[in-house]
Structure formats: structure tokens, C-alpha cells
Structure 1
Amino acid sequence: MQFHEVKYDSAQPVDSYGPGFFRVAGRVIKGAMIVTEDTAISWDDPDDIAPLLALVGKIDVLFYGTGADPAHPPAALREAMEDAGIGVEAMASAPACRTYNVLLSEGRRIALAALPV
């Protein structure tokens, strides 16, 4: 088995997460967040889907981290994103972070919107 070091170049990987926070590219974000290849921001109101709709044309899939437990994303969020041509994959935040990092390392057009664990 060969191991390869993952290189993100200038991309924004999720380094770690814990109770109420995420660490993205070395920076701590408290509470919910949205992260893409080139930016990571605090998501002050997870009911506000405007920052996600601003990603139209930049991403193909949004990973939605639901916190500690798996859950469905809000129907309005899923419908708005799918109407805009963006797929939504919901899962608990821990696997959402891991999946985001793997696909980010492959150069995929993705974003992560995650609620803290």
C-alpha cells in the first residue's frame, strides 16, 4: 500500500472541530460556518441561505453538516440549492468535514456548510 501526502495548496481544509468550533486552515471559527476552496466564514444565522446561494456557479455540491447527529437539512435550503443546480448532501458534521477534505484534495467544486458538534 502506498501512502500519499495530501496537499491542499492554497485551499481551505477543515483541520479539526470540537464543541462549538471548527479550525479551518489554522483559523478558529466559533459556531456554524461555510467553507469553500478559497474562503471560510462564520455563518451567523443558519436559516439564512443567501450566503449559500452566492455560491451558485462556483460549486456543484454542498455538504451540509447537521451537528453531532445526522438529520435532514431544512427543506427551504435543499429546494433553493437544488433549484440553483447544486446538489445537497446532508450528514453529521464530523463525516461532512472529512468528506469535504477528501473531495477538496481532489480539486472538486464543493462547499461545506456545517453546524458545530
Structure 2
Amino acid sequence: MDLTPKVPADRQVLEAYGDRGFRVSGRRLEGSLLVFPREVLSWPVGTMDELSPESLGPMIERAGEVEIMLLGAGASMAFVPATVRRHLKDHGIAVDVMDTGAACRTYNVLMAEDRRVAAALIAVD
């Protein structure tokens, strides 16, 4: 599925997802990711059961740069554990959870609007 919007060249654009990875700004990356407008990090979370405040350490480290974190929960939406939601809120980050495809599309729109957005994306088949 092609997700390519028109944005500045220095931004990380989510172009496709599936097959346990993503295409980000022309590069194929395997596994789950943390995506920021100017940076992409590998994220060792494969399911929502593995989500914890500790797993979001890199997100918290960039809290001043992130207003909203889109959580791509995999093939379907899931609930964010209260401890994770509270941890993000304590650092000034709102979380919006949705399936991974919706999170990819929403990230691109918000990033293109120059919002302070990041995405935590669980890879899907």
C-alpha cells in the first residue's frame, strides 16, 4: 500500500508497511520502529504485550520534540496499558492508538502539517 505524501526532503516519510517491516523514505526497514520526523529507530516491541514505559525510553528522551505519539498496535487497535499512558502523559506526550496502517497514514498527514508527532509502530505481516 503506497502512503507517499509530498513533504520536505529531510523528513522521514512512511511509504509502505507490511511483510514485518516498513519502507521509510525509500529504505526498507525490518521489524517494529519508532519514527520521528528526522529520525527512525529500531524498536524491539513485537506485540502490545511487550509495550511498557521502559520500551518507550527513546520516545521519552525526545519528549520536548513530541506532542503526540501515534501507536500502531499491529493488525488491529488495542488498548494502551494505563501505566504506559500515564508515563507518556507525565512527560507531556499524548498517545493515540490505532492499527499500524492507520498510524502510518496519520503520521504522514501530521508530519506534513509540521506537527510535533512521532509514531511507535508494531510491524505487521
Q: State the TM-score, normalized to the length of structure 1.
A: 0.89
Considering only aligned residues, what root-mean-square deviation do their CA atoms show, in Å?
1.4
Alpha-carbon shift at residue 73 of structure 1 (Å) = 2.1
* Residue aligned with 1:44, SS: coil
2:63 is matched with: 56
Number of aligned residues: 113
Alpha-carbon shift at residue 7 of structure 1 (Å) = 2.2
1:71 aligns with 2:78: yes
* Residue aligned with 2:63, SS: coil
The code of the aligned residue for 2:27 comes to R
The code of the aligned residue for 1:100 comes to Y
Deviation string 1:61-102 (CA, Å, 9 cap, x unpaired) is: 000000001101233221111111110000000000000001
* Residue aligned with 1:22, SS: strand
Q: Distance in 1 between matches of 2:44 and 2:113?
A: 29
Q: Distance in 2 between matches of 1:36 and 1:84?
A: 17
* Residue aligned with 2:22, SS: strand
1:22 is matched with: 22
Which runs of 5 or more structure 1 residues have no equivalent in the other structure?
A: none
Q: Distance in 1 between matches of 2:82 and 2:20?
A: 24
* Residue aligned with 1:57, SS: helix
2:35 is matched with: 35
Percent of residue pairs identical: 35
Larger helix percent:
2
